[in-house]
């Protein structure tokens, strides 16, 4: 399958490729003319002109070689300049949802075919591809700053219906958690088909981390179709004790409940956390809040127990699936459950060194410097 049929960037690809080819041709012609002009005044060429062609092969060959080398050099220099100029550029694109996405969907009322999943991408020459999954009501833009300076090829997906532009679009109605998970699996397959030689690292934040675990339940076969290098879970839910903000959103009757939104702000423990929550609420209230609320209710229902069992079951399965296992990073908001989670993990034979209590606020886990340290530097346990 051709790449453009799988993932479609939001740039005039044909125009852009045509413009690049025209510039390549101009660079080639320019290089050739440069080579010829350089050679025109060379001693060899003057000898050719004086001899009216005698000994052309002996003297003309260096001229031809000079012209060819100059031409190729022009193209190489252009390509080098082009790639350097576009290195780190974050581009937008979409994955069209086609009929083959229905293979795993179990809710017929979730009409998704013909719509699309939006994503951000930064292409780099890297064997590894990081795929970012955002938190409740957020979107791919939360990873944009890190993507611009990452050493890796990066793609950040936005879940179905979570773009601000889809807020008033009747074609993007709220869908079930199961359908969200199936669409995530669908997107991961398309990404791997587009970049078949790359190893994928899944980086999930908050509910985005939960979604990786839900793949085991609703789309397990996707792990047989992708090259999964590693899973990094940033503040996943481990039980109902960690779904505080999500539970408040799930209980809201509408997106106009100012009292409930203010209550979420009042529960902040520090001034920095308060600022993060203000930014968070500003983002989610710009979205289709019915979509946000539906997703919150479905996910909170999955964590209705206080037991860490389901979470650790998923960690164990993912750890056995990924080449380099799973890394779990918990924020200071979850430090009250960290010790209990670590003990339960050790009892199951999981490596507790792959669990980290970061000491930072929940939303600070999205900070580019924090992500760079966790994703690009060797961990202390390596």
Please report the pLDDT score of residue 260 as a whole number: 84
220 and 312 belong to one structural domain: yes
Same domain, 298 and 174: yes
Q: Which residue, 86, 110, 128, sits at the end of a domain?
A: 86
pLDDT of residue 128: 97
**Do residue 58 and residue 166 come from a single domain?**
no
Q: What is the pLDDT of residue 24?
A: 55
Categorize the per-residue pLDDT at 122 as very low, low, confident or very high, splitting at 50, 70 and 90: very high
pLDDT digits (tens, 9 = 90+) for 188-199: 999 999 999 999
Helix, strand, or coil here: 129? strand
- 86: pLDDT strictly greater than 60: no
Does residue 381 belong to any structural domain of this protein?
no
Confidence bin at 380 (pLDDT 50/70/90): low
Q: Is residue 12 in a domain?
A: yes
**Is residue 245 assigned to a domain?**
yes
- CB distance 340 to 239 below 8 Å: no
In a domain, 223, yes or no: yes
In this structure, the answer to whether residues 211 and 170 fall within a common structural domain is yes
Strands 228-234 vs 199-205: parallel, antiparallel or unpaired: parallel
Q: In total, how many domains does the chain have?
A: 2
- Same domain (yes/no): 176, 55: no
Judge if 40 and 186 occupy the same domain. Answer: no
Helix axes 13-40 and 43-50, enclosed angle (nearest 10): 70
Say whether both 67 and 149 belong to one domain: no
Q: What is the structure's pLDDT at 14? A: 43
Residue 382 lies in a domain: no
* Whether residue 361 sits in one domain with residue 275: yes
Same domain, 119 and 164: yes
Rounded CA gap, 340 and 8, in Å?
45
Q: Does a structural domain hold residue 58? A: yes
Are 150 and 248 members of one domain?
A: yes
Helix (H) or strand (E) segment spanning residue 201: strand 199-205
Least confident of 12-16, 19-23, 159-163: 12-16
CB neighbour list of residue 263: distance below 8 Å, 6 or more residues apart = 248
Q: How confident is the model at residue 272, as a pLDDT?
A: 83
Sheet order of strands, 199-205 included: 8-9, 91-96, 116-122, 153-157, 128-133, 199-205, 228-234, 326-330, 355-357
The CATH number that applies at residue 124 is: 3.40.50.1820
Q: Are 332 and 234 in contact (CB under 8 A)?
A: no
Rounded to whole angstroms, the Cα distance separating 65 from 333 reads: 67
Residues linked to residue 120 through DSSP beta bridges, in sequence order: 92, 156
What is the C-alpha to C-alpha distance for residues 168 and 174, in angstroms, rounded to an integer? 12
Does residue 40 surpass a pLDDT of 80? no
Cβ atoms of residues 239 and 315 within 8 Å: no
* Range 225-238 average pLDDT: 97
> Which distant-in-sequence residues (6+ apart) come within 8 Å of 126 by Cβ?
151, 152, 153, 198
Highest mean pLDDT among 22-26, 46-50, 159-163: 159-163
pLDDT tens-digit series, residues 338-373: 999 999 999 999 999 999 999 999 999 999 999 999
C-alpha count within 13 angstroms, C-beta hemisphere, residue 170: 0
150 and 290 co-located in one domain = yes
Find all residues with CB under 8 Å of 241, minimum gap 6, and list them.
306, 336, 337
- Asked which of 46, 66, 86 is the last residue of a domain, the reply is 86
Mean pLDDT over each residue of the chain, to the nearest integer:
82
Count of helix runs (H) and strand runs (E) in the chain: 13, 9
More confident residue, 222 or 10: 222
Domain boundary among 37, 52, 86: 86
CA 228 vs CA 84, 202, 312, 319, 338: distances in Å: 29, 8, 19, 11, 26
- Look up the domain containing 210 and give its range: 92-376
Q: Which of 16-25, 38-47, 360-369 has the lowest mean pLDDT?
A: 16-25
The dihedral built from the CA positions of residue 213, 215, 217 and 221, taken in this order, carries a sign that is negative
Based on the domain organization, do 65 and 131 belong to the same domain? Answer: no
């Amino acid at each position: 399958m051709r790449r453009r049929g799988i993932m479609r960037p939001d740039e005039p690809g044909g125009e852009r490729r045509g413009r690049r080819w025209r510039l390549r041709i101009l660079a080639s012609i320019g290089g050739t003319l440069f080579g010829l002009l350089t050679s025109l005044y060379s001693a060899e060429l003057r000898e050719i002109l004086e001899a009216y062609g005698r000994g052309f092969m002996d003297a003309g060959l260096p001229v031809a070689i000079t012209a060819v080398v100059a031409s190729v050099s022009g193209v190489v220099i252009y390509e080098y300049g082009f790639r350097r100029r576009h290195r780190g550029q974050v581009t937008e694109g979409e994955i069209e949802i086609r009929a083959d996405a229905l293979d795993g969907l179990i809710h017929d009322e979730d009409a998704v075919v013909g719509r699309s999943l939006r994503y951000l991408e930064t292409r780099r020459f890297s064997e590894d591809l990081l795929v970012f999954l955002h938190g409740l009501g957020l979107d791919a833009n939360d990873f944009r700053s890190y993507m611009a300076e990452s050493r890796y090829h990066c793609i950040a997906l936005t879940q179905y219906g979570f773009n601000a532009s889809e807020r008033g679009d009747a074609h993007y109605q709220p869908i079930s958690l199961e359908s969200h998970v199936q669409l995530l699996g669908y997107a991961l397959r398309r990404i791997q088909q587009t970049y078949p030689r790359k190893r994928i690292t899944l980086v999930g934040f908050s509910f985005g981390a939960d979604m990786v675990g839900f793949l085991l339940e609703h789309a397990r076969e996707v792990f047989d179709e992708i090259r999964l290098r590693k899973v990094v879970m940033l503040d996943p839910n481990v039980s109902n004790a960690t779904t505080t903000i999500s539970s408040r959103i799930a209980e809201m009757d509408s997106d106009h409940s100012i009292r409930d939104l203010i209550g979420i702000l009042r529960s902040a423990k520090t001034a920095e956390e308060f600022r993060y929550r203000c930014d968070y609420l500003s983002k989610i209230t710009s979205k289709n809040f019915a979509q946000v609320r539906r997703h919150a209710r479905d996910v909170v229902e999955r964590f209705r127990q206080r037991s860490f069992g389901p979470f650790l079951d998923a960690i164990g399965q993912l750890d056995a699936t990924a080449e380099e296992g799973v890394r779990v990073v918990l924020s200071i908001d979850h430090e009250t459950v960290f010790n209990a989670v670590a003990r339960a993990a050790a009892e199951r034979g999981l490596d507790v060194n792959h669990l980290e209590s970061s000491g930072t606020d929940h939303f600070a886990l999205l900070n580019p410097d924090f992500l760079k340290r966790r994703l690009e530097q060797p961990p202390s346990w390596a």
